[in-house]
Amino acid sequence: MFNSIMIKLAHNFIKALKFPRWRWALFIAIASDALGFTVVLFPPAQWLLDAITAAALLFTIGFRWQLFIALAVEVVPALELFPAWTLVVLTLVAMPHHAIDDKGE
C-alpha cells in the first residue's frame, strides 16, 4: 500500500513538472528559502522576501490556501529557517488536483 501511494505521488510530481508554472513555482520557493538563510538576522529583509515570495507564488500558481500555511510558518521567528515555501510547493506539486487545473496550458 505504501509503495502504491509513493508511486502515485511520484507520478503526480513528474506530471506536474511538465507545466512551466509548476517548475517556476518550485524555483521561486527554493530560491526564497535559500535567500532566507542569508537575511535571517535582519527581520525587515526577511519580511520583504516573504512578501515577494508570496506574491510571486500567487501570481505563478494562483490562489492556494496552503501558501498561507507557509507564510504563517515564515512569520514565526524561530521557524523561519524551516524551508516552508519549498515544502508547501512540493506538496502542491504532488497533489493530484493540479492536472485538472492545468488542462488549459
**pLDDT computed for residue 86 by the predictor:** 92
Whole-angstrom CA distances from 83 to 79, 86, 104 are 9, 6, 30
Whole-angstrom CA distances from 11 to 86, 87, 95, 99, 103 are 19, 18, 10, 11, 17
Reported as a pLDDT band with limits 50, 70 and 90, residue 33 is very high
Query: What residue numbers bound the domain in which 43 lies?
Result: 2-101
Q: Return the half-sphere exposure (C-beta side, CA atoms, 13 A cut-off) of residue 101.
A: 17
Share of the chain above pLDDT 70, in %: 91
Mean pLDDT over 27-44 rounds to 91
* pLDDT over 80 at 46, yes or no: yes
Alpha carbon 10 to chain centroid distance? 17
Contact 85, 57 (CB under 8 A): yes
* pTM, full prediction: 0.82
**pLDDT computed for residue 100 by the predictor:** 44
Does 61 or 80 have the greater pLDDT score? 61
Whole-angstrom CA distances from 1 to 6, 7, 12, 92 are 9, 10, 17, 22
For the chain, how many structural domains are there in total? 1
